[in-house]
């Protein structure tokens, strides 16, 4: 019997676990370790954050799904990995600390034959003074709970506007190295939509504050679209949306501090500024989970297994080289940890070889560089392909070829939708292929046939459809595996 342990139950880890159980008989054990008791369809947190959905609309408990599918579930967090085993057992092991109410604080060591690290991001609100909903002064949509708090804060601002008091709403990134600019972009236009629905848009100043050097960068170095025989850029396409809706943009910004009354930030030219605000939804930078690693003798090998960011090293080219020398081939394809044929990191848990957008520094030395997005569809694809690799090696032997899923060959879609009804919504829908631009294959870095941006109600319908389809899929209901990642 093979023991497979999956760390994390987000999009990547949950997808991997379900496919492992589908592909393997019950004679093999699949175990999921996650500190969270519930699964969250994170893209719909945007709608929770404006009050169009509730937490119950975007989460469900994991334990009943895993019980039904024959998957062991430990509500716990991983604290250490022993990839070479220890003095008692040569099999790999992972130390976990339980977080559930019944076993809180208890520790255990789980053995594995195969391990998938899909632990997702650590939300580093502490990187910027005053950032975050818990110890800071800003709201977030990173979790369903955070999004609920954001909706409450937005309601309070709308109430002020209805009293005729002008308000400034700031939405964007709270640090120079943030990722997920697409989520901030989508939330901006959902807030704009809610203000218009409430009839108070004329009294509101809406500001998009981002570490992107240009609108439409989204941490992927921007895109080129071909429409009706003409080429346009995501910068021009996105800029038109901002102008139409009266949203101001402050770009190339690193937020250094948030006070009760103002956001202090530096921009790429090195100048510093202060922006007064009444409402601020600023995303945090991501880091890897604080997991240690040890060899069989107990020597700390964390620096060998993990990058300084806390993300796990995989089959990528981590050679430090200038932006002009970056290549699509630098990116991982199998997500295996170097030196280990039974250990992988997928989704946000793997360490990118470099940014996708060009990193920049201010004259003061402040790094302003959007980090690469690795969420949503790419995360699910990675999880599925690693599950397929493990299943093949269990069935056909350790030399079975690994399945590949490079972000330099896979596509992705981003649907930024405002409103939640069937007739009142609208969306800016973008697709790109590949995620990591490949200028050796495509003059613009991406396939123009598959890279495009469109506006309209149909994109909103797609976002609604994806919401219900992926909740259905994640619940592992009949035919779930027919729904693509």
334-372 pLDDT, tens digit per residue, is 999 999 999 999 999 999 999 999 999 999 999 999 999
Which residue in 201, 455, 222 sits closest to 358, CA to CA?
Answer: 222
pLDDT of 423 higher than 70 = no
Q: CA–CA separation, 247 vs 316, rounded Å? A: 39
Q: CA–CA separation, 431 vs 414, rounded Å? A: 6
Peptide bond between residue 33 and the one before it cis (omega within 30 degrees of 0): no
Q: What is the pLDDT of residue 429?
A: 84
- Sign of CA pseudo-dihedral 112, 114, 120, 121: positive
pLDDT of 72 higher than 90 = yes
CA 431 and chain centroid, separation: 17
Q: CA–CA separation, 98 vs 72, rounded Å? A: 14
Percent of the chain whose predicted confidence (pLDDT) is above 90: 90
Percent of the chain whose predicted confidence (pLDDT) is above 70: 99
Q: CA–CA separation, 166 vs 172, rounded Å? A: 20
pLDDT of 458 higher than 80 = no
Q: CA–CA separation, 244 vs 249, rounded Å? A: 13
Residues 80 and 94: beta-carbon distance below 8 Å: yes
Q: What is the pLDDT of residue 414?
A: 83
pLDDT of 441 higher than 80 = yes
Residues 263 and 275: beta-carbon distance below 8 Å: yes
- Domain positions in the chain are 3-123+287-396
- Sign of CA pseudo-dihedral 94, 97, 99, 104: positive
- The most distant pair of C-alpha atoms in the chain lies apart, rounded to whole Å, by 70
pLDDT of 114 higher than 90 = yes
Q: What is the pLDDT of residue 433?
A: 95
pLDDT of 233 higher than 80 = yes
Q: CA–CA separation, 380 vs 398, rounded Å? A: 24
By residue count, the chain amounts to 485
Neighbours of 346 (CB within 10 A): 35
Residues 211 and 254: beta-carbon distance below 8 Å: yes
Angle between helices 11-23 and 62-69 (to 10 degrees): 20
- Sign of CA pseudo-dihedral 100, 101, 106, 108: negative
Residue 477 token pair:
């209901």
pLDDT of 388 higher than 70 = yes
Q: What is the pLDDT of residue 226?
A: 84
Q: Please, how many CA atoms are within 13 Å of residue 115, restricted to the half-sphere of its CB?
A: 24
Peptide bond between residue 434 and the one before it cis (omega within 30 degrees of 0): yes
What CATH class has 3-123+287-396? alpha beta
Q: Please, how many CA atoms are within 13 Å of residue 270, restricted to the half-sphere of its CB?
A: 4
Task: List, for residues 273-313, the tens digit of each pLDDT value.
Answer: 999 999 999 999 999 999 999 999 999 999 999 999 999 99
pLDDT of 48 higher than 70 = yes
- Residue 282's DSSP bridge partners are 172
pLDDT of 382 higher than 70 = yes
Q: Which residue has the higher pLDDT, 186 or 426?
A: 186
Neighbours of 1 (CB within 10 A): 9
Angle between helices 181-197 and 144-162 (to 10 degrees): 40
Strands 59-61 and 452-456: unpaired
Q: What is the pLDDT of residue 420?
A: 59
Which residue in 162, 174, 94 sits closest to 133, CA to CA?
Answer: 174
- Residue 224's DSSP bridge partners are 233
* Residue at token pair 């976002």: 463
pLDDT of 424 higher than 70 = no
């Amino acid at each position: 019997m093979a023991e497979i342990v999956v760390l994390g139950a987000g999009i990547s880890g949950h997808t991997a676990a379900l496919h492992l159980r589908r592909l393997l008989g019950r004679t093999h054990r699949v175990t999921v370790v996650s500190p969270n008791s519930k699964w969250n369809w994170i893209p719909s947190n945007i709608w929770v954050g404006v009050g169009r959905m509730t937490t119950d609309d975007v989460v469900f408990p994991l334990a009943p799904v895993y019980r039904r599918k024959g998957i062991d579930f430990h509500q716990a967090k991983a604290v250490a990995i022993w990839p070479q085993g220890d003095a008692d057992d040569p099999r790999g092991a992972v130390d976990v600390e339980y977080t559930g109410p019944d076993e809180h604080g208890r520790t255990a060591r789980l053995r594995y034959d195969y391990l998938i690290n899909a632990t997702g991001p650590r939300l580093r609100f502490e990187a910027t003074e005053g950032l975050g909903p818990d110890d800071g002064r800003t709201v977030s949509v990173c979790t369903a709970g955070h999004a609920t708090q954001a909706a409450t804060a937005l309601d309070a601002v709308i109430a002020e506007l209805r009293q005729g008091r002008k308000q400034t709403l700031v939405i964007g990134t709270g640090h120079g190295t943030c990722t997920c600019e697409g989520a901030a972009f989508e939330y901006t236009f959902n807030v704009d939509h809610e203000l218009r629905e409430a009839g108070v848009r004329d009294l509101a100043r809406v500001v998009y504050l981002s570490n992107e050097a240009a609108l439409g960068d989204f941490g992927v170095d921007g895109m080129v679209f071909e429409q009706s025989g003409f080429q346009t850029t995501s910068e021009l396409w996105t800029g038109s949306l901002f102008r139409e809706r009266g949203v101001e943009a402050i770009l190339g910004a690193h937020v250094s501090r948030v006070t009760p009354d103002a956001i202090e930030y530096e921009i790429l030219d090195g100048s510093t500024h202060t922006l007064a605000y009444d409402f601020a939804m600023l995303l945090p930078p991501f880091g890897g989970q604080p997991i240690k690693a040890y060899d069989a003798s107990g020597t700390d090998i964390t620096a060998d297994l993990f990058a300084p960011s806390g993300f796990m090293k995989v089959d990528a080219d981590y050679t430090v080289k200038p932006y002009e020398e970056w290549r699509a081939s630098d990116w991982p394809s199998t997500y295996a940890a170097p030196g280990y044929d039974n250990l992988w990191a997928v989704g946000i848990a793997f360490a990118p070889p470099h940014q996708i957008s060009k990193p920049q520094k201010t004259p003061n030395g402040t790094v302003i560089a959007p980090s690469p997005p690795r969420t949503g569809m790419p995360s699910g694809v990675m999880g599925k392909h690693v599950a397929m690799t493990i299943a093949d090696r269990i069935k056909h032997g350790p030399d079975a070829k690994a399945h590949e899923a490079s972000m330099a060959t896979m596509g992705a879609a981003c649907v930024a939708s405002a409103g939640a009804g069937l007739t009142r919504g609208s969306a800016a829908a973008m697709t790109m292929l590949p995620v990591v631009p490949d200028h050796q294959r495509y003059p613009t870095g991406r396939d123009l046939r598959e890279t495009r941006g469109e506006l309209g109600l149909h994109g909103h319908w797609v976002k609604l459809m994806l919401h219900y389809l992926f909740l259905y899929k994640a619940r592992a209901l009949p035919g779930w595996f027919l729904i693509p990642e």
